Amino acid sequence: MKEEAALENQYQMMRQQCQQLTYKINELKLDADEHDLVIEALKPLDKDRKCFRMVDAIVVERTVEDVLPAVQKNKDQMKATMETLEGKLKELQAATDEFQKTHKITSREQQQVQNEDEGESQGGQGVLI
């Protein structure tokens, strides 16, 4: 019984890691989209025009010529990081699925679906309240 609980806990931890990676990927995607908006706003402007950029919690005054390449570089780094995290996520999901199959772990959602399927196959009628 303790072994089953330990396997279940390990499986839940693996799923939680997948969820955390997915959250981080989505967060980076939103930031990259914001960078796209900034890049599109800065492109038509004069290169000598003054603009402000936030670095950590400090707002610094620069020119468009200085800021545009920095924003583009940050966006490219975010895209590279997202690709790396997506690769790790696929590996972790495959490992989690393999772990689940190897140890015959069924999640609560799968159990509910199985129970519903069994109820439908028996011809039982549900009651609406």
Domain ranges of the chain: 2-104
Residues 66-122: tens digit of each pLDDT: 999 999 999 999 999 999 999 999 999 999 999 999 988 887 666 666 667 766 555
What CA–CA distances, in Å, run from 32 to 12, 40, 55? 30, 12, 16
CA distance 101 to 106: 9
Question: May I ask the CATH architecture of the domain 2-104?
Answer: Orthogonal Bundle (1.10)
pTM (2 d.p.) = 0.78
123: pLDDT strictly greater than 60: no
Residues 8-35: tens digit of each pLDDT: 899 999 999 999 999 999 999 999 999 9
> So what's the pLDDT on residue 3?
87
Compute the Cα dihedral for 115, 121, 124, 129 and give only its sign.
positive
Task: List the structure tokens of 123.
Answer: 């011809």
